[in-house]
Amino acid sequence: MGLKCGIVGLPNVGKSTLFNALTSAENAESANFPFCTIDPNVGVVIVPDPRMKVLEELVKPQKSLPTVIEIMDIAGLVKGASKGEGLGNKFLANIREVDAIIHVVRCFDDPNIIHVAGQVDPEEDKSVIDMELQLKDLESVDKKLLKNTKMAKTGNAEAKKTVAALEKFKAHLESGENARSIDATEDELAEVADLMLLTGKPVIYLANVDEESIHTDNDLVKRMREIADSENAELIKVCASIEEQISSLDDEEEKEMFLDEYGLKESGLDLLIRASYKLLDLVTYFTAGEKEVRAWTIHKGWRAPQAAGVIHTDFEKGFIRAEVIHYADYVTYKSELACKEAGKLSVEGKEYVVEDGDVMHFRFNV
């Protein structure tokens, strides 16, 4: 399965700078004026996983393919975007395509970098984007509500059920709340699933700070952390200038030395990927053979046939069984044959729930 995250935020909060650093890309222009990014730039980020290197050393495959995250740098947003102001309609359409939102907020002061509102206030910046997304969601809810209200008046039971769910979401959005915070049943959520509500997307807040605030929260970060906690959301603190320097280093040892100099254990990219996996409840399993070692991303709780389906739909349709070795056993016994001889290779059926780190082979027939 392909994971896609969208970087959003007001103009000049550091989105494109962070995008370039996180993806080691240079195609996202970064400049000191609003709407520097007009069309969404897309970059592919390799998910760092030390288990891949271990499996490569044990299996010695012809090639290895890590799993990746697609990151989209989406055009800046201003007040009135829900009505088409600025690049609003384009921006809002792009958000519908992503699995999760990375919301960048500026948490540093610099008179040399213009802020679109004239002052640095991450709480206000966040509220602007929330409001525009809520207004767009209300537009979607109202359209469907109008159609189903007419049907409900004729006595249509399904339409009445839909109207009740839509009215609940409408009231929630009109109160200034995001759809992801609503207390709704599975049936109610199903009624709005086709709307792909923008405020229903899971979110990670990315606080862009200066070097002085990378270890100690400044007042702006403290306030944003309170907001994130109140929403049960993740907040990651990243310094775009440090990430830019890290992205310019090709050698892993140099990167580690650079991080040590700043007293950091991991880069902002690593923090972001871990947070994304946690937010979306994702895990990784591996396939390992002479031709390739490959990592695959799936949702936690998926059963073996679903996991097989990310390789090819035929694998899921014609699933017979899965041969499974837990990662720890593979490391202990050093090879598939040794694991088999030690009784550490299990044959699992359709009900097997895949665990993070499983090394798997699928048998299927179509």
Cβ-contact 61, 292 below 8 angstroms: yes
In the block, residue with structure tokens 């897309």: 42
Of 51-65, 93-107, 339-353, where does mean pLDDT reach its minimum? Answer: 93-107
More reliable by pLDDT, 349 or 269: 349
Tell me whether residue 12 is annotated as binding.
Answer: yes
Nearest to 10, CA basis, from 284, 180, 206: 206
Binned at pLDDT 50, 70 and 90, residue 244 comes out as confident
CA 299 to chain centre: 13
In the block, residue with structure tokens 């896609």: 4
- What integer pLDDT is reported at residue 37 of this predicted model? 36
Cβ-contact 66, 273 below 8 angstroms: no
Tell me whether residue 15 is annotated as binding.
Answer: yes
Alpha-carbon dihedral sign for residues 229, 231, 234, 235:
negative
Binned at pLDDT 50, 70 and 90, residue 34 comes out as very low
Domains of the chain: 3-46+67-120+200-279 (3.40.50.300), 129-198 (1.10.150.300), 301-364 (3.10.20.30)
Nearest to 35, CA basis, from 82, 86, 71, 85: 86
Cβ-contact 41, 73 below 8 angstroms: yes
**Does the pLDDT at position 30 exceed 50?**
no
Nearest to 9, CA basis, from 234, 205, 227: 205
Average of per-residue pLDDT across 187-197: 95
For a pLDDT cut of 70, what percent of the chain falls above it? 88
Binned at pLDDT 50, 70 and 90, residue 120 comes out as confident
Average of per-residue pLDDT across 260-285: 91
Residues 6+ apart with CB under 8 A from 246: 21, 255, 258, 259, 267, 269
- Residue 267 carries which DSSP code? -
- What integer pLDDT is reported at residue 68 of this predicted model? 87
Tell me whether residue 16 is annotated as binding.
Answer: yes
Distances (CA, A) of 34 to 43, 77, 80, 81, 127: 21, 9, 15, 14, 18
151-182 pLDDT tens trace:
999 999 999 999 999 999 999 999 999 999 99
More reliable by pLDDT, 269 or 78: 269
> How many of the other CB atoms lie within 10 Å of CB of 362?
21
**Does the pLDDT at position 94 exceed 50?**
yes
CA distance 226 to 213: 17
- What DSSP string runs through 50-87? HHHHHHHHHH--SEEE--EEEEEEPPP--TTGGGT-TT
User: Edge-to-edge strand order for the sheet containing 3-8?
Assistant: 41-46, 68-73, 3-8, 100-106, 203-208, 234-238
CA distance 30 to 243: 14
38-92 pLDDT tens trace:
345 788 888 889 999 999 999 999 999 999 888 888 765 555 544 554 444 556 6
CA 300 to chain centre: 15
- What integer pLDDT is reported at residue 87 of this predicted model? 45
User: Whole-prediction pTM value?
Assistant: 0.81
CA 165 to chain centre: 27
208-238 pLDDT tens trace:
999 999 999 999 999 999 999 999 999 999 9
Nearest to 227, CA basis, from 136, 129, 141: 129
Tell me whether residue 89 is annotated as binding.
Answer: no
Tell me whether residue 13 is annotated as binding.
Answer: yes
Phi-psi region of 79 (alpha: psi -120 to 50; beta: other; left: phi over 0): beta
Nearest to 67, CA basis, from 283, 335, 350: 283
- What integer pLDDT is reported at residue 23 of this predicted model? 77
288-328 pLDDT tens trace:
999 999 999 999 999 999 999 999 999 999 999 999 999 99
Average pLDDT for the chain: 87
> How many of the other CB atoms lie within 10 Å of CB of 28?
21
**Does the pLDDT at position 1 exceed 70?**
no
